[in-house]
A and B are shown apart, each in its own frame.
Chain A
């Protein structure tokens, strides 16, 4: 990029320096309102409200162990919500994210069991498969120009069928065999599904991974070229392409990132439960997408954050477990969950409206 020479404005028509169009739109809003307008702040307040509410309504929540349990539940949603959120900022959906988790776990479990190999072989093969699924989703979306909603609805159904059919074909059952006695299992379990002691409270390692991934995602999104491209391809694909952003690369890699997330959570499920049922995972994709949307990611792309979905997933986990901690009538469970989520989203929306009102 060469710096252009800045010749003195020529005589014919020099642009007059100075603000030309002060029309009220560029007037600074108060600092507080500007802060509130950030998408992650709204969800932070919503999550804080839900947290405080359950602190009061459900005494067991005040204990460290309960918090660790709530965070665990949130982390397994949150780790997937992160790439799903990045993809959403990049303007695309992945409806196959839920079953892709199971596909990954099944691949690892069956490969290492059937071939009697070290489980790490299965783990790496599963990573390759997950990334390949992501690539295929992304490639189809980029090449056909069809809405990713349709493409990934297709892959969602395909994976659902393949999960079941291949598992039955290979194992003769609909669940994989127990791999807990195989070589490398305890090692892999340490990475994906162990827990450690913090002041007498058992904390699951997925919580650590969740926060690490969130930190990396935030840094990438706000501080790197690639992050800039994610916003651009989601905000306006055509102008991004016109200024030289590699749109296809960005989108395909985002889908592959979702594949990576699916692999990680798939490995967590495999190494914490030893076996995988092929019918699981259906419906999870909507939970991931909800966490991202609650976290302030725009459904249409182009805006959002990586930290927002962290709070979104936390809110989801908090409500899910908080209702149980509060000991409410379980018949109403789903209804409570829905009301709380809707309430949280409305608070989020209200905060943003108030903050961005001119």
Chain B
């Protein structure tokens, strides 16, 4: 009896849902309202087909790493390169992925050295196998020691310092640096840099980045606890967007600035909800890393003379220049 009843309710729900779907299109928003603009495209190189392995420490499903990968794919398409992308947040597994690439006898390897010691052996192996290795994104202080050819990225500490100096100019006194993953080297370095460059007081707050409601309530809690905080600094685009709500919830007058960029974040900068965003240009990092390997293989070029890194950031984006990047961000490439 009961079971039949439930089945009936279920069937009814599905039916109603289907009927509903038939005559229920949205008159605003949605995909139809966005124009289909294709991303960057260029001619294709005629050099022989080569294979480049890109191995990162990215956790799956992160917007930032998606941009890195898109940049790498764009370069690969242009340079007639077959790109093999893989990633694993655990350093040991990442090293195994690099070993895997060496075994496949790829023509070049681009990797992130978030935990440089774990990469030492495999980079040495790649070198002895005659495979050029370039670093990007993480490992700015270790890439030379590891024997990498060149490095593309942002010095997180320098970026943090620049961020702090910018806050000084804006007159902030007490900043809150929100870290969404406790112990992550790059994030900790940003906050450390901020502390160095910022003349006011800097507090650090750890939040659980995989659970947005808890991010929201934790930032709210901190703002209530310490009402002298007048500047919130977030280290990732989704966290920044959530922090906007925390600021409203807590009634705090603090301002908000962030690292990293995304489509929705550009909108928030345009609306003045976020003062500025510091972009390390992940698309550029991915692009340059692949392109550099291609150049090295085809023409022997390499940048920085094996001593200086190529810095892709920090690029400041505020109300004055946000419109120029808005279009690219909407495409999901900036």
Whether A325 and B61, one on each chain, are in contact in the complex, defined by CB atoms closer than 8 angstroms, is: no
Partner of B61, one of A77, A278, A320, A334: A278
Is B27's beta carbon under 8 Å from chain A? yes
Is B241's beta carbon under 8 Å from chain A? yes
Contact with B along A145-187 (1 / 0, CB 8 A): 0000000000000001001100110001111011111111100
> Using Cβ atoms and an 8 Å threshold, which residues of chain A touch B230?
none
CA distance A190 to B263 in the complex (A): 25
Interface residue ranges of B60-92 to A (CB < 8 Å): 60-63, 65-66
Interface residue ranges of B228-249 to A (CB < 8 Å): 238, 241-242, 245, 249
Is A69's beta carbon under 8 Å from chain B? yes
> Using Cβ atoms and an 8 Å threshold, which residues of chain A touch B33?
116
Partner of A181, one of B28, B31, B66, B262: B28
CB-based nearest B residue for A202: B249
CB-based nearest A residue for B211: A284
> Using Cβ atoms and an 8 Å threshold, which residues of chain A touch B63?
173-175, 277
Given contacts A174-B61, A175-B63, A175-B238, contact A320 B30 (CB under 8 A): no
Given contacts A69-B224, A128-B17, A330-B205, contact A321 B30 (CB under 8 A): no
Is B218's beta carbon under 8 Å from chain A? yes
CA distance A168 to B262 in the complex (A): 15
Whether A124 and B31, one on each chain, are in contact in the complex, defined by CB atoms closer than 8 angstroms, is: no
Whether A182 and B61, one on each chain, are in contact in the complex, defined by CB atoms closer than 8 angstroms, is: no
Whether B211 and A281, one on each chain, are in contact in the complex, defined by CB atoms closer than 8 angstroms, is: yes
| Most chain A CB neighbours (cut-off 10 Å) among B24, B182, B221, B238 | B221
Whether B29 and A182, one on each chain, are in contact in the complex, defined by CB atoms closer than 8 angstroms, is: yes
Whether A73 and B217, one on each chain, are in contact in the complex, defined by CB atoms closer than 8 angstroms, is: yes
CA distance A76 to B225 in the complex (A): 21
> Using Cβ atoms and an 8 Å threshold, which residues of chain A touch B251?
65
> Using Cβ atoms and an 8 Å threshold, which residues of chain A touch B206?
330, 333-334
Is A228's beta carbon under 8 Å from chain B? no
Is B26's beta carbon under 8 Å from chain A? yes
Interface residue ranges of B1-19 to A (CB < 8 Å): 2-3, 6, 10, 13-14, 16-17
CB-based nearest B residue for A184: B26
Is A130's beta carbon under 8 Å from chain B? no
CA distance A315 to B267 in the complex (A): 37
Is B121's beta carbon under 8 Å from chain A? no
> Using Cβ atoms and an 8 Å threshold, which residues of chain B touch A128?
13-14, 17
> Using Cβ atoms and an 8 Å threshold, which residues of chain B touch A275?
238, 241, 264
Whether A117 and B28, one on each chain, are in contact in the complex, defined by CB atoms closer than 8 angstroms, is: no
Given contacts A65-B224, A272-B245, contact A182 B214 (CB under 8 A): no
Is A211's beta carbon under 8 Å from chain B? no
Whether B224 and A124, one on each chain, are in contact in the complex, defined by CB atoms closer than 8 angstroms, is: no
CA distance A331 to B221 in the complex (A): 17
> Using Cβ atoms and an 8 Å threshold, which residues of chain B touch A278?
61
Given contacts A73-B213, A334-B182, contact A117 B30 (CB under 8 A): yes
Stretch of A23-31, A86-94, A107-115, A339-347 with 4 or more beta carbons under 8 angstroms from chain B? A107-115
CA distance A70 to B2 in the complex (A): 39
| Most chain B CB neighbours (cut-off 10 Å) among A63, A72, A167, A280 | A280
Whether B62 and A113, one on each chain, are in contact in the complex, defined by CB atoms closer than 8 angstroms, is: no
Whether B222 and A324, one on each chain, are in contact in the complex, defined by CB atoms closer than 8 angstroms, is: yes
Whether A69 and B26, one on each chain, are in contact in the complex, defined by CB atoms closer than 8 angstroms, is: no
Is B116's beta carbon under 8 Å from chain A? no
Whether B30 and A116, one on each chain, are in contact in the complex, defined by CB atoms closer than 8 angstroms, is: yes
Interface residue ranges of A40-95 to B (CB < 8 Å): 58, 60, 63, 65-66, 69-70, 72-73, 76-77
Is A279's beta carbon under 8 Å from chain B? yes
Given contacts A73-B218, A321-B218, A327-B225, contact A279 B241 (CB under 8 A): no
Given contacts A116-B33, A121-B21, contact A324 B210 (CB under 8 A): no
Contact with A along B178-219 (1 / 0, CB 8 A): 000010000000000000000000011110111111101110
> Using Cβ atoms and an 8 Å threshold, which residues of chain A touch B40?
none
Interface size class of B (residues with CB under 8 A): 35 or more
Is A139's beta carbon under 8 Å from chain B? no
CA distance A174 to B69 in the complex (A): 11
Is A125's beta carbon under 8 Å from chain B? yes
Partner of B30, one of A77, A124, A179: A179
> Using Cβ atoms and an 8 Å threshold, which residues of chain B touch A65?
224, 250-251
Whether A280 and B21, one on each chain, are in contact in the complex, defined by CB atoms closer than 8 angstroms, is: no
> Using Cβ atoms and an 8 Å threshold, which residues of chain A touch B214?
73, 76-77, 320
Whether A112 and B30, one on each chain, are in contact in the complex, defined by CB atoms closer than 8 angstroms, is: yes
> Using Cβ atoms and an 8 Å threshold, which residues of chain B touch A246?
3
Whether B249 and A117, one on each chain, are in contact in the complex, defined by CB atoms closer than 8 angstroms, is: no
Whether A324 and B205, one on each chain, are in contact in the complex, defined by CB atoms closer than 8 angstroms, is: yes
> Using Cβ atoms and an 8 Å threshold, which residues of chain B touch A331?
204
CA distance A325 to B115 in the complex (A): 33
| Most chain A CB neighbours (cut-off 10 Å) among B59, B205, B217 | B217
Q: How far is the CB of A166 from chain B (nearest CB, A)?
A: 11
Partner of A183, one of B10, B27, B263: B27
> Using Cβ atoms and an 8 Å threshold, which residues of chain A touch B104?
none
> Using Cβ atoms and an 8 Å threshold, which residues of chain A touch B10?
131
Is A338's beta carbon under 8 Å from chain B? no
CB-based nearest B residue for A278: B61
Whether A175 and B262, one on each chain, are in contact in the complex, defined by CB atoms closer than 8 angstroms, is: yes
> Using Cβ atoms and an 8 Å threshold, which residues of chain B touch A116?
25-26, 29-33
Is B332's beta carbon under 8 Å from chain A? yes
Whether B221 and A125, one on each chain, are in contact in the complex, defined by CB atoms closer than 8 angstroms, is: no
Listed by A's residue number, 6 A-B pairs whose Cβ atoms lie within 8 Å are: A69-B220, A116-B31, A117-B21, A249-B3, A275-B241, A334-B182
Query: What are the nearest 4 A-B pairs in CB distance?
Result: A279-B61, A116-B30, A182-B29, A181-B29
Sample of 18 more A-B contacts, CB < 8 Å, known A177-B34, A284-B210, A330-B203: A60-B224, A73-B217, A112-B26, A115-B25, A115-B30, A117-B26, A118-B20, A127-B13, A174-B62, A174-B63, A175-B238, A182-B29, A249-B3, A273-B212, A274-B264, A279-B62, A281-B210, A283-B208
Binding site for A on B (CB under 8 A): 2-3, 6, 10, 13-14, 16-17, 20-21, 24-34, 59-63, 65-66, 182, 203-206, 208-214, 216-218, 220-222, 224-226, 238, 241-242, 245, 249-251, 262-264, 267, 332
